[in-house]
Structure 1
Amino acid sequence: MLEPHQERLWSDVHELAELSEPDSAGWTRRLFSEPYRASRAWVRARMRDAGLEVVTDPAGNIVGRLAGRRGGPPLVTGSHTDTVEGGGRFDGVVGVLGAIEVARRLRETGTRLDHDLLVVDFLGEEANPHSGTCLGSQAATGVLTAADLDLRDGKGTRLGDALRGFGVDPEGVLRPGWATGPLHGYVELHIEQGPTLRRRGVEIGVVTAIVGIDRLLATFIGRADHAGTCRMDERKDALVAAAKTVLAVERIGCTGPESAVATCGTLGLEPAAENVVPGRAVLAAEFRSDDQAWLSRAQRRIAEEIGSLAAENGVEALLEWSSDNDVVPTATSVQDLTAATADELGLPWVAMPSAAGHDAAHLAARCPAGMIFVPSHDGRSHCPEEWTEPDEIATGVHLLAATLLRMDQRTSVRPEP
């Protein structure tokens, strides 16, 4: 009964994709950009068309409410519509537009939940130059702090000032909001962003955990010298130490558990000239896994290796660590309910961890939370080639609707009026 209108859903995906930064590759809607501002107005209009009462909360999240018969702690679903630079059309978007379609179908079929349903487009889930990721869900759940608002981007702009320029009151971001109160549960639909489902020929992933993400900023301080006159055995080359660290990061990632990955994403040099021995190098890396113990071991191991490499090359190394989140298990009750619902709908599924971070990681601290994955072609994501078939999206939206319906019914103990 709650099957989505596939053509309408597919049309929404592509209409939203048109709101993109014109000078960037792929489909780009970065936090604080004008296309992102326009896309949020578009999302608000779509929510209203679906019959939702729409507000923008103090944290900058767009929240659409479909009233239930009894109210109480609401059911929540949603995702995000910002993208990385040169990103794709489906990451996050499927979860937001799919949730709006669920609300449409509930109204069109005359199906009313006991609990209120909140459909959320979280502000700024992707990495931003100020404060990492999941800005809106961190703020909504009370994780963001006043110190975070003072963080500056590469141009020296405070996060608080950037929020204000985007129409979000930075003081309001720190006030307790809807996500700090009781919530009945949260389910997020998302593309897998990896190859597991496609390789196994399975339509649905029931997410068991969201990986922990530890980030490293390593600064190597050596001595700048003339590239022609400084002998090789007299050099304090910051880049050589940093380059060997890149290989060490890769080696550690390759020896971890199946879910473990390790990546060096940026490497900056001062001075950056071919006739100067680099005196300073700054390297950013990250480690991900659903095994928290391995993440801790990886931190210790890379710190030890960097210490040895720095001494070997006569440079100083300064290490700064930050964490997006520890490993976050999804609620077993939500996993079981989602899996049972998939079985009822005749959908093949597999239990699997998420190798990417999501807003669900922060909602999981507030209520029983789970995620549903649909396949990604060739496992590609965060690139223009990101692709999920329209029938695969529709299947995921159908399961999302049925799971929310059963979550609402499963815990409703009061008799019908």
Structure 2
Amino acid sequence: MASKPESLTPQPSRLEHDLAELARIRNPESGGWTRTVFSEPYRASREWIRSRMVDAGLEVHTDGAGNVIGVRPGRRPGAASLITGSHTDTVESGGRFDGAVGVLGALELVRQLTEHDVVLERDLLVVDFLGEESNDFGLSCLGSRALAGELTSADLDRRDHEGRRLGDRYAAFGLDPAGVPGAGWTSSRPLHGYVELHVEQGPLLEERGAPIGVVTAIAGIERLLARFDGRPDHAGTMPMGDRRDALVAAAEAVLAVRREGCGAPVHGVATTSRLVSEPGSPNVVPGAVRMHAEIRSVDTAWLSAATRRLADEIRATAAGYGVDVDVEWSTDNVPVPASAEVHEVVSAAADALGIAWEPVPSGATHDAVHMARLCPMGMIFVPSRGGRSHCPDEWSELEHIVTGVQVLGATVLDMDRREMSAGTTS
């Protein structure tokens, strides 16, 4: 007889060991934990994950999009599959928990199912998605984006700041770029539901004293590239009133981005991440500047209005300094609500286990955004100390991770036996 959800209690020492072992695999020349997509440390981490999947009894393969997938067969081979997982790549000088908790937590769930002789009705897929983090090609969630049929041949022609093609990076990593756009699961593999365990990467759960967050929606992201064209002049001889200083115009734009974020409703943020000034000499008035920024929110209407307001303000302010500006927006992903059904299952699972939870939005994007195009999607968050993430100080307590895996297990068991709505959430 199958065990009750409450009996699927993760082993803290095993989880702690896996987290520590994965954390050993990083770029020693970078600070923090660095396993950027297509790097050698990332290749090594994926081989390690593959071996752990095999040890857990999963049938493992790497698909055409580069995702490492472990399958635990269910009792009904033709039934739509359940899927969980996350990613093991990191940002430069990142932390040791982002993404890793979801992959290793899913593996611990598989071990618990096996140790308690639980056979699910459906296949359970555990996925380490390729390249979830932002990269130099301006495209996050490479693996899940491909599964959802959203990665195109044109995307493979994107180039990084060194002029390298994304398609060429796939090839150097041992993946056939020609097969990536066709690796989607839109019709080839029916999915019953997707649930992802992740660290919150924000302060809400810690502030509210809740060990579990049930995600309500994932923020949309609009990215800005602004090119300011002024006029280079001698910094010692050109009078202040006669200058067309591109960097001053860009500095005003940085402040405009911050003001927009500070005035956002509900959950909205805005960040300028990079300014590149030319010619960069200390005795030359900057003649050209490239500015990279982004705005995020779960509110579609605010995002749309904010892009218009910022573009108008940046152009008008730059004109006052005699600087021309080209403003270009690109959408990384639109706001995506979690499935109401999965939200209900997760929250009910936490309630049944006597675990307090809070409804929370996600300001970070996740592979769940793209999986929502294939099946009902939900996410489980565990607290991040101080809300810190994408930095070496990122930390989540082991007891909270164990609790997250426990809720993940109860959620999977419930989703396995209940009917879910067909279709997508976006």
1:131–1:148 CA contact under 8 A, matched in 2: no
2:65–2:183 CA contact under 8 A, matched in 1: no
Match of 1:390 in 2: 398
- CA–CA distance in structure 1, aligned partners of residues 414 and 266 of structure 2: 33
2:64–2:183 CA contact under 8 A, matched in 1: no
Q: Deviations over 1:193-239 (max 9, x none)?
A: 00000000001000000001100000000110111111111111100
Match of 2:61 in 1: 55
- Report the AA paired with residue 335 of structure 1: H
Q: CA deviation at 1:131?
A: 3.6
Match of 1:211 in 2: 219
Q: CA deviation at 1:179?
A: 5.6
Instruction: Name the SS of the counterpart of 1:225 in structure 2.
Output: coil
Match of 1:327 in 2: 335
- CA–CA distance in structure 1, aligned partners of residues 213 and 248 of structure 2: 42
- Report the AA paired with residue 70 of structure 1: R
Match of 1:167 in 2: 174
Match of 1:2 in 2: 8
- Report the AA paired with residue 348 of structure 1: A
Instruction: Give the direction of change, closer, same or farther, for the CA distance of 1:358–1:175 in structure 2 (3 Å limit).
Output: same
Is 1:31 matched up with 2:37? yes
Instruction: Name the SS of the counterpart of 2:317 in structure 1.
Output: helix
Is 1:232 matched up with 2:240? yes
Instruction: Name the SS of the counterpart of 2:191 in structure 1.
Output: coil
Q: Deviations over 1:260-284 (max 9, x none)?
A: 1000000000011121000001111
Give the one of 22, 37, 40 matched to 2:28.
22
Give the one of 115, 140, 149 matched to 2:147.
140
Match of 1:114 in 2: 121
- Report the AA paired with residue 384 of structure 1: P
Match of 2:388 in 1: 380
- Report the AA paired with residue 136 of structure 2: P
- CA–CA distance in structure 2, aligned partners of residues 185 and 288 of structure 1: 26
- CA–CA distance in structure 1, aligned partners of residues 315 and 33 of structure 2: 41
Q: CA deviation at 1:98?
A: 0.4
- Report the AA paired with residue 385 of structure 2: H
Match of 2:4 in 1: none
Runs of 4+ in 1 over 6 A off after TM superposition: none
Identical-residue share of aligned pairs (%): 59
Gaps of 5+ in 2: 1-6, 421-426
Is 1:298 matched up with 2:292? no
- CA–CA distance in structure 1, aligned partners of residues 225 and 185 of structure 2: 34
Q: Deviations over 1:338-367 (max 9, x none)?
A: 101100000000111101000000001110
Q: Deviations over 1:95-150 (max 9, x none)?
A: 00001111111111100110100000000000111142101110111100000000
Gaps of 5+ in 1: 413-417
Is 1:286 matched up with 2:267? no
Give the one of 39, 62, 66 matched to 2:72.
66
- Report the AA paired with residue 11 of structure 2: H
Q: CA deviation at 1:258?
A: 2.9
- CA–CA distance in structure 1, aligned partners of residues 322 and 183 of structure 2: 50
- Report the AA paired with residue 370 of structure 1: G
- Report the AA paired with residue 390 of structure 1: L
Q: CA deviation at 1:177?
A: 3.7
- Report the AA paired with residue 163 of structure 2: G
Structure 1 window deviating more from structure 2 (1-10 vs 55-64): it is 1-10
Instruction: Name the SS of the counterpart of 1:87 in structure 2.
Output: coil
- CA–CA distance in structure 2, aligned partners of residues 74 and 171 of structure 1: 27
TM-score by length of 1: 0.97
State the number of aligned residues. 412
Instruction: Name the SS of the counterpart of 1:277 in structure 2.
Output: coil
